[in-house]
Amino acid sequence: MRIAFHGAARNVTGSCHLLECRGKRILIDCGLYQGNREMDEENRNDFGFDPASIDYLLLTHGHLDHCGRIPLLRRLGFKGTVLTTAATRELARLVLLDSARIQEEEARYRNYKASKRRNRGEPAEPLYDTLDALDSLDAFADIASFAQAHQLCPGISTTFYDAGHILGSACILVELEEAGRQHRVLFSGDLGCDGRAILPDPARPPHADTVVMESTYGNRLHKSLAPSIEEFYRAIATTIARDGNVLVPSFALERTQELLYYLREGIEQGRLPGHLRVYLDSPMAISATQIFRRHRECFDEETWEVVAAGRDPFDFPGLEIVRDTSESMALKQVKGAVIIAGSGMCTGGRIRHHLRHNLWRPEASVVFVGYAAGGTLARQIIEGAETVRVLHEEVEVNAEIHTIGGFSAHADQRELLKWHALTGTPERTFLVHGEEMAMQVLAGQLTGTTVAMPRLHQSFSL
């Protein structure tokens, strides 16, 4: 029995871990690296294993940094099954098709720019295309339900537990038996927070011999949710009062739906103006919200009460859905409104256009409500850059900047430690999916287990 780490090793993206047992090779996640150009190049590097040798892929959830290289894996020879929840399968379809479109557009743009140069070099190729994404989706299969064991093959079984991170997200237990030895390996995936809207709290984890745990916020505590909601409402109210726009760079999956939920609640409770105009300018977020509506089995009791009362948790007067590019472009004429657009780290999507038209305006505000990886435009703005490059233009940062950490979909240090304590007394804990400083701080807080922070492609015997 062995485990190897081929992604999210001392960084926050590109999750990909490999188990070997009884001649079978099982991959847990196969995510895309996100951030700077070096990360883009890492996506094209060798996986660290032969894709054709993988028998099963267990997918924790549908975020791009956990599923984004599955089409490439498939194109390079993977013929196995991708096992996941029904909600994750639907979200992954949305994410992978969008990723393929972006890859194709980026390649076309680079080739167009190269055509203007005398020395054109090799033509740019997308990491994968739409056909690759569609082909990979044929490999997906749904688990029956959470907390129900599924035998992959003799001696190897898996059980998914609700991770409370995004719709359909899971922690995954893999039970191994070989040569009379048994070993239980638990992968946290990305863990959600307690007491959040829409989704239940993360399920109690099972005991395990080895734990592979995310550490995104291993070195900090989140601001509590109630003050974060108040800060969000206050940022909106003060900005609208001065006739400025509130830009919210938001992740299409979970974060956007959570913001819509709280905007609806704020208007219903009179904590926000009843005439508030909110533009949801993200085709992916719009489609993701429709998927949320189809998977009510994933909702918590609070959200079920809203549904039972005949109300849509994600809709309210003043919400306008913006699908067409022409409608998005017309928003540059808007004043005194909330504009929610992707991407959350400002690495792509329509938010960049809105930043170009609003970031230089002192009456505007930008509200960041999620994690921003190093090297991203969002991180530059959060860290106080006076000017930033947006869509090939230098733009002054005069808008009011808000960073509201309480909306994070990731567990903080306290919640990570609480979750880990429920896994029993694991022999070894591998910290992944975190920046090195966060990992080191979290490692110092873990007791009763041997802690390792694997490097890329490092392998261990179980």
Residues 6+ apart with CB under 8 A from 253: 62, 63, 91, 95, 166, 167, 285, 288
The residue among 179, 170, 182, 169 whose CA lies nearest residue 208 is 182
Contact 166, 61 (CB under 8 A): yes
Confidence of residue 265 (pLDDT cuts 50, 70, 90): very high
pLDDT over 80 at 422, yes or no: yes
The residue among 242, 256, 239, 238 whose CA lies nearest residue 340 is 256
> Tokens 């230098």 label which residue?
394
Q: Which domains does the chain have, with CATH numbers?
A: 2-220+409-461 (3.60.15.10), 225-407 (3.40.50.10890)
- Summarised one tens digit per residue, pLDDT across range 163-195 is 999 999 999 999 999 999 999 999 999 999 988
What is the C-alpha to C-alpha distance for residues 198 and 396, in angstroms, rounded to an integer?
Answer: 37
Q: What angle do CA 302, 304, 309 make, to 5 degrees?
A: 105
Contact 47, 75 (CB under 8 A): no
**Mean pLDDT score across all residues of the chain:** 94
Joined tokens for residue 312: 């849509």
User: What does the pLDDT read at residue 102?
Assistant: 87
Q: What is the DSSP letter of 200?
A: P
In the chain, pLDDT over 70 holds for what percent of residues? Answer: 99
SS3 of 318, please?
Answer: coil
pLDDT over 70 at 68, yes or no: yes
User: What does the pLDDT read at residue 36?
Assistant: 65
In the chain, pLDDT over 90 holds for what percent of residues? Answer: 85
pLDDT (average), residues 249-257: 90
- Summarised one tens digit per residue, pLDDT across range 98-134 is 999 989 988 998 888 888 877 777 888 999 999 999 9
Backbone angles phi, psi at 150, to 5 degrees: -130, 120
pLDDT over 80 at 454, yes or no: yes
The residue among 220, 209, 214 whose CA lies nearest residue 163 is 214
Contact 249, 366 (CB under 8 A): yes
User: What does the pLDDT read at residue 38?
Assistant: 62
The residue among 121, 36, 54, 323 whose CA lies nearest residue 16 is 54
For the entire predicted model, the pTM comes to 0.91
Burial class (CB in 10 A: 0-12, 13-18, 19+), 201: middle
